[in-house]
Structure 1
């Protein structure tokens, strides 16, 4: 589970911003929305939502966490010496534009608490640190800066010690990623969390996860569960079928690099499967309004954008809940009805339906969710930009005098919590001005 994520000097975040899933002392909705971790004395939230005006930093916050995940996963295997690190500092300040960006995450994985972070410029890792807490005391596993790398004598010995002594760690590669690649047991466990437990996607585009949902339709049990979700969402879909194309039929039309990548990602001995479309089945009725069979539609060409998005979302949604993952979604509410989004949130905020303690972190403009029956005050977050273009992140629980049964939505839209646009006079572009009359 995610405990805390901190980012500094990345995109619109100039100063440090901390996104915490630690529950406050408040006991509202304790039974469902909070997970107790008594061995570490923690209470963790099952979900968190971020509100803010357009361009306030909501998406940049998600992008920062996903950058950290992707860089941990790929820095040792997909980059070469001299490759630029795809990090972007806050560029609206002459002070920060050349300073390193900083990322740190604290998480719980298989009964062990980890704290890991790094600072980086586009050319090098400036600092990197890794600690863990198997019981009560936090132990330093390694610390890296421009002066060198300090390793734990027993837990990071052997080949990792040899690589560090021989200065064979690339300046643009993370030591955690390298150590995991060389099967250091503790590094492998931490890497597993980034690779298997931290799942992020864009609610604006299904390109990165539609293939996964299509593949799940080919599994009878998963297909039935996906259909159940579609029916409960009032989409009146009886069945779904996935259309596939033989790889050899289309391979000639694909770029050589993509052909090779598809082959590499396919298990040896199996032909690559290319998914072309999904067919949805809906009831057809006769003149007496009696069911007369089913009609097939193309999900891409015939169904609504919301239906298409929710279908593609069902695969990752079930996967996350089944495996206790952290689900980070940019613009979850895009193209989905507010009531449907509320039901998705309710799945995570449920001890019964979410027994593996998956977490949902997302941003939205859907103020209908600002309801004390859905979220505690510490689950509601805001982003706001100052006059210098820098984003800040804060929680509703940071405010004093906010009642547990308060009208969060009303107060938010009225600007009591900030994080709303300061709108000007939209009639101005349509109104003649003195300069126009003087021409």
Structure 2
């Protein structure tokens, strides 16, 4: 499970910003059994979900992008780049103090009953520093610490990692943990495997994971679960069917080389391409009675954008809940009704459904969630940017308990600006003084 993530000097975050999924003690009686996982190994109470609010351009999405970047770089740095390739780092550019300094990332998580703390500093050229600690029981052990190409390692617990260092196999633009995993270092493999189980998706672009959901429908068991979610969402969908691409029906205006590649792939690899998802809806007669017939719709052409997004989400959500993974979603509420978003969040906070303690972290503008009763104070986070363009991240749980009571109206108070992280719109009040006037054309 994700315990904590921090980022510093990356895009809009100049100073260190940290999100913690460790539950606070002052909310100990609030939704304790549903929203909390008791980790008895490390005596931790871990939150199953967290939501981030903030004005437009406040840093909500940039914080998600930082986590997504770390995941991608950890998994791919040793194999998807060569010596001399640039690292896709973007420091905070609005200050001369930080524009040439490295960006920093650190994450704490549990995996297979051990706790790991891993992080690195990097600029566009080089890994400046890198570190990995693990806690098998109660004491944290340093496995390695790196400064540029100088390494200090734990000889017994990180022996294979030490071997790749001695062989000179770690480039200055690659992470040691990524290289060591390729050479079968068990602890490094654990780190990589956990990052692979950290699922990150965009709520604005469901095309990136719709194919995953489509593939899940080919299993009767998973198809039934997806159908149950679609029916629960009141979308009117009774059944779904994948429409396979017929190579004899390819568009005549399709480029010849593309058509030839598709046909060759299908024939050589004995595979299939999915061209669409067909949804089935009930048909009624003049008396509003079910005719027992169904109408076929194209998901891409006939269904709403909200239906398409919800269908695409069902696969990743079910996968994460079934396996106890962590899901990070940028703009979860985009295209979805607020009540439906509440129900999705409720799946993760349910001890009956979320039996493997999967986690959901997302950002949103949907203030209805604040009055839904789904969240404790320590699950509600805010991103706010100051006049210098510097974003910060803080929790409602950071406020003193006497100033923010757990029974107060979070939604109303947030909209009124009590917690900050809302846009300042006073300029609109005097906008007529600054907008040019136009005479009506005759």
State the TM-score, normalizing by the size of structure 1. Answer: 0.93
Change (3 A) 1:384 1:247: farther
- The answer to whether the 8 Å contact 2:324/2:359 transfers is yes
2:245 match: secondary structure: strand
Q: Partner of 1:183 in structure 2?
A: 184
Residue deviations 1:101-154, cap 9 Å, x none? 000000001101000000000111000000101111111111100360111101
- The answer to whether the 8 Å contact 1:5/1:104 transfers is yes
Change (3 A) 1:302 1:113: same
d(CA) in 2 for partners of 1:246, 1:296: 18
1:392 match: secondary structure: strand
Change (3 A) 1:206 1:255: farther
Q: Partner of 1:222 in structure 2?
A: 222
Residue deviations 1:17-41, cap 9 Å, x none? 0100000002111111011111111
2:243 match: secondary structure: strand
Alignment of 1:237-248 (within 5 A): 237-245=237-245
2:100 to 98, 101, 118: 98
State the TM-score, normalizing by the size of structure 2. Answer: 0.92
**Shift of the alpha carbon at 1:429?**
5.4
**Shift of the alpha carbon at 1:274?**
2.0
Q: Partner of 1:363 in structure 2?
A: 363
2:273 match: secondary structure: strand
Q: Partner of 1:39 in structure 2?
A: 41
Q: Partner of 1:295 in structure 2?
A: 295
Alignment of 1:320-339 (within 5 A): 320-339=320-339
Q: Please say which of residues 160-169 and 68-77 is displaced more in the overlay.
A: 160-169
Q: 1:165 and 2:166 equivalent?
A: yes
Q: Partner of 1:317 in structure 2?
A: 317
Alignment of 1:18-33 (within 5 A): 18-25=18-25, 26-27=27-28, 28-33=30-35
**Shift of the alpha carbon at 1:432?**
6.9
1:426 match: secondary structure: helix
Residue deviations 1:337-386, cap 9 Å, x none? 00000001111011111000000000000000003621000000000001
d(CA) in 2 for partners of 1:152, 1:432: 65
**Shift of the alpha carbon at 1:161?**
2.5
Change (3 A) 1:296 1:115: same
Alignment of 1:1-400 (within 5 A): 1-25=1-25, 26-27=27-28, 28-146=30-148, 148-158=150-160, 160-195=161-196, 197-245=197-245, 253=255, 270-292=269-291, 293-371=293-371, 373-400=373-400
- The answer to whether the 8 Å contact 2:306/2:336 transfers is yes
d(CA) in 1 for partners of 2:232, 2:171: 51
d(CA) in 1 for partners of 2:322, 2:151: 39
Q: How many residues matched? A: 430
- The answer to whether the 8 Å contact 2:149/2:172 transfers is no
d(CA) in 2 for partners of 1:95, 1:244: 56
Q: Please say which of residues 219-228 and 16-25 is displaced more in the overlay.
A: 219-228
d(CA) in 2 for partners of 1:136, 1:390: 37
- The answer to whether the 8 Å contact 2:164/2:180 transfers is no
Quote the RMSD (CA, aligned, Å).
2.5
- The answer to whether the 8 Å contact 2:342/2:372 transfers is no
Q: Which runs of 5 or more structure 2 residues have no equivalent in the other structure?
A: none
d(CA) in 1 for partners of 2:284, 2:430: 53
1:23 match: secondary structure: coil
Q: Which runs of 5 or more structure 1 residues have no equivalent in the other structure?
A: none
d(CA) in 2 for partners of 1:410, 1:73: 42
